[in-house]
Chains A and B, each alone.
Chain A
Amino acid sequence: MSSDTPRRQFEDIDWDADRGVGLTRQTTGFLASLLVLATLFVYDYLRQSPLFEPNPVLRDGWDITQLDWLFTLSLLLFCFYIIAPLWTNRRMAAHYWREFRKNRAAVVSLGYLVILFTLGLFGPLLVGKPSVELIQGYQPPVGVAVDNSVPLQCAGRVANGQCYGSWAFPLGTTGEGKDILALVVLGMRVSIRIGLITSFLIISIGATVGTVAAYLGGLVDEVLMRYVDIQQVFPSFLLYILLIYLFGGSLLMFILVFGLLSWGGTARLVRSAALQRSENEYVEVARCAGANATHVIRRHILPNVSGTVITNLTLLIPGLILFEAGLAFLSLGDPTIPSWGQTIAAGRSDLGSAWWVSTVPGVFLFLTILAFNFVGDALRDALDPRSEGNT
């Protein structure tokens, strides 16, 4: 709050309205974008043909699916409730960055994740769907030479019976002649979708259930927490297996099953933190001064647990990405969407001759999970004010 605000009488404070200028602007912005999104959705729903016809930039055109809508919604939330607050609260953001910067591996990892995010967001629009072309199968990546008998027709330089990789296929091609670079970029899209949409589901459901349970207590608390018990016991992996067996697999189902069943831990975390925090003096003071439950939850409880929740998420998301890759590897995933697991499975039998087919997506998968873990570890130290000093 700026310094020229006139000093207000204590009793004058309207606890419901006083939420600062930044937050209101942020909420209006979010609601406005939501309205635009809803209009577009209705327009797309009523129009039968794809929203974007094939054109020189978007090679194959773009028919927006339910998954795309869900993803855009999550992206909006991410922009308005993570990026925007950091932007308006420069001092806090700078503090977090100083703490975060202490961990060098985490900074590199964050850079990698930002690149992955950008490529996954915009790359698929440019590369188009890789097509099967047997004639260009088994091309080695740039800088690698293999025996000339491996590819049917070497696209690059041939010398001494060795086929060298060409820049036409920087990461080589699969046995079916699909460009691995395109497959990798499309796989990034899968990963960021899993990451963003499931985080959105987990945070919104988990935080709501946790705070409601802690605040209402009694029977509501008991019922909600017993439900979480059952959900935690039930392995979502097996439910997913059962569901794809019964209804067929899709990425949307994967995200919904894992997103809607993995918020139990977050809800428990938020509930216990909310119970703990509501004993604190500052909450008591706020309450004595006339703040209602919504205000206390918004201003004192949620900001206090947000660090824990975000850290928890950065450790949860890589697990989900790994799960998706594993399922795609077993061909239990979405057969229509190219993903890393699928490419690894495709190159499995050729490891002896064309080792790069499985290895390139495998390395990307490995790096992504590693990066998430490093970032999560550093975030835990940076975001949690109580961990200061004794890490």
Chain B
Amino acid sequence: MRWYVVRRLLWAVVATFIILSITWALLLVTQEQALASIQFQAAVSGGDAEAAREAYEQRRGLDRPLWRQYVDYMTNMATFNWGYSTSRGQPVTAAIMDALPYTVMYSVPWTVLTVVFGLSVGLYSATHQYSKFDYAATFVAFFGYAIPNFWFGIILLVIFGVHLDLVPIVFDPDVPVFSLANIKQLVLPVFVLTTGSIASLARYSRAEALEYVQATFTKTAKAKGASERRILLRHVLRPAAVPLSTILVADLLGLFIASSYLVEVVFGIPGLGQLSFRAIQNQDTPLVLATTLIGVFIAIVGNLLQDIAYTVLDPRIDYGDR
């Protein structure tokens, strides 16, 4: 098992390496395009196209040999020297550090609520199959999944912010983290995100738990007189948790990255998603690159953790020959 974990770890490093290389190649292609347009402009305005090209290459460090550029790019990435954001007037890493707390502020309660509600609704539906609660839960799950997050967010803002005046319409980044005002302005984003993500977890956990509700070892436990709670936690949840952990990481991460853009823009939260979005609008290449790559790294680390969790959670799986 240790060997398996080491191999997974090495694989994560290789994957990071490949992804960084692809990004480098993409950047190279667009730089060629930018160069062509600069040369064209210089020629049109009567300047010297060749001189414009040299000046541009000098400024961007493009006059060095390709392998040198590649090595420099990789070392910069590895040493967190991610460049300077022109639109924000600060280093990219500083901009990210400024934005990160706001993303954490809504994503932690969101993850906790999703896991708690998703699992409990799913387990309850499985043990009370075809009951009224089961149907209601299925309906709510579908509803939450189908309603577009960003549209739901706007509608809720209009109802609760404008008409009922219960929550502030404009996000205030200066209120203390643990205060009533902050909770008030985070309620809607967390609610919108949770309704969107509960669905998949609840449905998957229902399906997984159903397999074990009828299993012989659950019946044995019941015959022995084990309590309802003990059966649910020890005999149903434990084996079901293994496949669920995969869904949790893969599904939630994908959802998380995409919704962080939408929800932060709709609610005006100055987190990572909005930072990236503004960077795209302002054509701030280092910042766009850094904010998207952070998402990729989170995904790689998440997948790594999930694979390791798999080995810990399920002693039945033998990794000897993998």
Contacts and interface: CB of A to CB of B under 8 A. Distances in A.
B142 interface: yes
B150 A344 contact: yes
B9 interface: no
Most buried by B among A232, A235, A318: A235
Interface size on B, as a range, is: 35 or more
B239 interface: no
Interface in B174-230: none
A232 B304 CA distance: 12
Most buried by B among A237, A245, A326: A245
Interface stretch (A43-51, A194-202, A366-374): A366-374
A352 B158 contact: yes
A365 interface: yes
B300 A233 contact: yes
Nearest to A340: B148
B150 A323 contact: no
A326 B154 contact: no
Nearest to A239: B292
A322 interface: yes
B209 to A, nearest CB: 14
B36 to A, nearest CB: 14
Interface of B: 11, 15, 18-19, 23, 26-27, 29-30, 142-143, 145-151, 154-155, 158, 162, 250, 253-254, 257-258, 261-262, 265, 276-277, 280, 285, 288-289, 292, 295-296, 299-300, 303
A246 interface: yes
A241 interface: yes
B233 to A, nearest CB: 24
Given A238-B295, A242-B292, 13 more contacts: A232-B303, A233-B303, A234-B299, A235-B253, A238-B257, A238-B296, A242-B23, A242-B288, A243-B26, A246-B29, A326-B150, A352-B162, A358-B155
B108 to A, nearest CB: 20
Interface string A308-334: 000000000010001101100110100
A358 B146 contact: no
A235 B18 contact: no
A284 interface: no
Nearest to A351: B158
B94 to A, nearest CB: 21
Given A326-B262, A351-B158, A373-B145, A235 B151 contact: no
Nearest to B150: A329
A128 interface: no
A209 B51 CA distance: 50
B145 A326 contact: no
Contacts of A246: 26-27, 29-30
Given A230-B19, A247-B30, A365-B151, A237 B296 contact: no
Contacts of B143: 370
B292 A241 contact: yes
A369 B148 CA distance: 9
A373 B142 contact: yes
Contacts, number: 103
A247 B289 CA distance: 14
Contact of A234 (B11, B262, B265, B296): B296
B8 to A, nearest CB: 10
A63 interface: no
A69 to B, nearest CB: 25
Contact of B15 (A229, A247, A359, A366): A229
A362 interface: yes
Contacts of B292: 238, 241-242
Contact of A365 (B19, B148, B158, B303): B148
Contacts of B257: 235, 237-238
A330 B265 contact: yes
Given A235-B296, A241-B280, A242-B289, A329 B262 contact: yes
A238 B276 CA distance: 10
B23 A374 contact: no
Interface in A334-350: 344, 348
A230 B18 contact: yes
A246 B158 CA distance: 35
List the 7 closest pairs (A to B, CB-CB), nearest first.
A370-B146, A362-B151, A369-B146, A246-B30, A238-B292, A351-B158, A238-B295
A365 B150 CA distance: 12
Contacts of A326: 148-150, 258, 261-262
A247 B32 CA distance: 12
B279 to A, nearest CB: 8
Contacts of B254: 235, 237
16 contacts: A229-B11, A232-B303, A235-B253, A238-B295, A238-B296, A245-B285, A246-B26, A325-B148, A329-B262, A344-B151, A362-B148, A362-B151, A366-B148, A369-B145, A370-B146, A374-B142
Interface in A24-65: none
A325 B146 CA distance: 12
Contacts of B276: 241
Nearest to A367: B146
Contacts of A232: 250, 303
A244 B292 CA distance: 12
A330 B261 contact: yes
B39 to A, nearest CB: 19
Contacts of A244: 280
Nearest to A237: B258
A358 to B, nearest CB: 6
A373 B300 CA distance: 29
A190 B262 CA distance: 20
B60 to A, nearest CB: 15
A233 B254 CA distance: 9
Contacts of A373: 142, 145-146
B148 A245 contact: no
A230 B162 contact: no
A270 B27 CA distance: 35
A192 B308 CA distance: 40
B26 A242 contact: yes
